[in-house]
Amino acid sequence: MSSLSEFHFLAVLAQEMNMRKAAERLFVSQPALSQRLQTIEKEWGERLFIRSQKGLSLTPAGELVIKFINEVIVKEEKVRESIHALNAEVYGTLKIAVASIVGQNWLPQVLKKFVNRYPQAKISLVTGWSSEILKSLYEDQVHIGIIRGTPDWKGVKTHLFQDCLYLVDTEITSPEQVLETDRPFIQFKSDSNYYQEIQDWWLKHFKTAPRRTIVVDQIETCKQMTFNGIGYAILPAITLNGAEKDIFKIPLLDENNLPLKRDTWLLGYESAFQLKQVQAFVELIKEHISEENKP
């Protein structure tokens, strides 16, 4: 039976599907890599990969083997985490999925503290829309998720912070001016929850669509276009760090004349919060938020 080291070897090959790239990742020569693969294939009694000038492709037997070893590697990692959890020291990999806007603007300060305080721990971080974060949690790909909006989540749910939404522009100084300007409304693609929130606010206040719109794929692109005077945008406070110059920021108000805010939540299953690296990260987040809220 193949050893765990051989499972990791095959996993790298399946990820790269290229002998040269796999050899570089495994720090071996291509001839040594090829010889080791032949030995493993003899052990399984089948060819697992087909080599060609374009790279590697999996045989039907190879697909079955790779599926099996990926399952073993996931289980191995969970067992290692459980073993490390028995020790006082914080070890293991912290797997986080974070809404992109949080990952870009708020999380780096927290992660810096975490890596400095817990040098033995590792971090696996993915970013995306909040809907994608929830999918990663449901599929047990990560320990915890940090999302924007109001989540429908049955597991552990901790509110982290709120931030206000602003109409941002280099020229417009009041919301009513958007009805008079020919400047475009710059929008960024987001999950349906956020988009709907902005649409609802807009229609309640203006009863008509913007005259011109520009849609971009990233909030950072939207921000930079706005800061450079191309048009106006609605941006959350988390993206506005106070360093921007000559920018007007008009808070959005709801029907009760209260600031419109966006919530950020930390989510996870109860089992994940039993891991020391997760416990340490959550405690550090609470500490960071407490420091931010100090007068």
Res 158: pLDDT: 93
Q: What is the pLDDT of residues 196-216, one digit of tens each?
A: 888 888 888 888 888 899 999
The list of the chain residues with pLDDT below 70 reads: 1-2, 84-88, 192, 243, 295
Q: What is the pLDDT of residues 174-199, one digit of tens each?
A: 888 988 888 999 998 877 677 788 88
Say if residues 68 and 1 touch (Cβ distance below 8 Å): no
What's the CA dihedral at 106, 111, 114, 115 to 10 degrees? -160
Q: Does domain 4-85 have CATH number 1.10.10.10?
A: yes
Say if residues 113 and 284 touch (Cβ distance below 8 Å): yes
CATH class of the domain at 93-161+263-292: alpha beta
Q: What DSSP assignment string belongs to 148-174?
A: ES----SSEEEEEEEEEEEEEESS--S
Domain spans of the chain, in order of start: 4-85, 93-161+263-292, 163-260
Q: For the chain, how are helix, strand and coil distributed in percent, rounded to 5?
A: 45, 25, 30
Domains 93-161+263-292 and 163-260 share a fold: yes
Distance CA 182, CA 42 (A): 70
Distance CA 180, CA 195 (A): 23
Distance CA 236, CA 226 (A): 13
Distance CA 275, CA 78 (A): 10
CATH class of the domain at 163-260: alpha beta
Res 35: pLDDT: 92
Strand partners, 263: 162
Predicted TM-score of the model (pTM)? 0.68
Residue 224 CA, chain-centre distance (Å), reads 21
Nearest alpha carbon to residue 266 among 243, 248, 289? 289
Distance CA 92, CA 46 (A): 35
Query: If you count them, how many residues does the chain have?
Result: 295
